[in-house]
Amino acid sequence: MSGFPNRPTRNDFGPTYENERPVQDPKREVGEDIYNLNFWQVAGLGLVAPKVIIVATVAGSVVTTVNQFLAFDPSRSLSALTWTYEGVGHYSFDFQSQYPDEVGNNVNLSLVAGGAFVQGSTPLMSSLDLTSGYEGDLYFEDDAGAATNPSKFMMVIW
């Protein structure tokens, strides 16, 4: 089953398993109930867990990724996401269009929706516009609708 970072369905893990014989020692053998439950849960979690979580800070026109958690980088070996400061309250980002799956085949990244959340005491509105399956624009405004820079934010994308 290759293809990650795309989301697996339950069927991607193969058929529903059946015991060849009754489980005799549950401490040393795994039965169909456990296998099937695990595959069901992994597929379900894969469908709802974000592909991207980024924490970033803004200082003037410099946006810095402080932490990044990427479902398509389970070894945390990729460099931190770099941002383009487009203007006050507007930042753009680009991931690569493809990343290797678990067996080394390049697979298209397909980000579909997300949002950003200000970290701190100043409430700001945000919007995330994904312009493709791997790039987008992030906007922040104050309650009067004026573009403004947060000091810190978290972006989450599915």
In this predicted model, what pLDDT tens digit does every residue of 25-40 receive, in sequence order?
A: 999 999 999 989 999 9
Q: For residue 67, is it within any domain?
A: yes
Amino acid at 156: V
What is the pLDDT confidence band of residue 120, given thresholds at 50, 70 and 90?
A: confident
**Who wins on pLDDT, 9 or 99?**
99
Q: For residue 4, is it within any domain?
A: no
* 34 and 89 inside one domain: no
Q: For residue 5, is it within any domain?
A: no
The rounded mean pLDDT for the chain is 92
Chain center to CA of 39 = 20
Distance CA 10, CA 22 (A): 24
Share of the chain above pLDDT 70, in %: 96
Instruction: Report whether pLDDT(1) > 60.
Output: no
In 75-146 the beta strands, taken as DSSP E runs, fall at 83-87, 90-94, 98-100, 106-108, 114-118, 125-130, 135-141
Q: Is the pTM of this model over 0.85?
A: no
* 62 and 132 inside one domain: yes
Residue ranges making up the domain that contains 144: 52-157
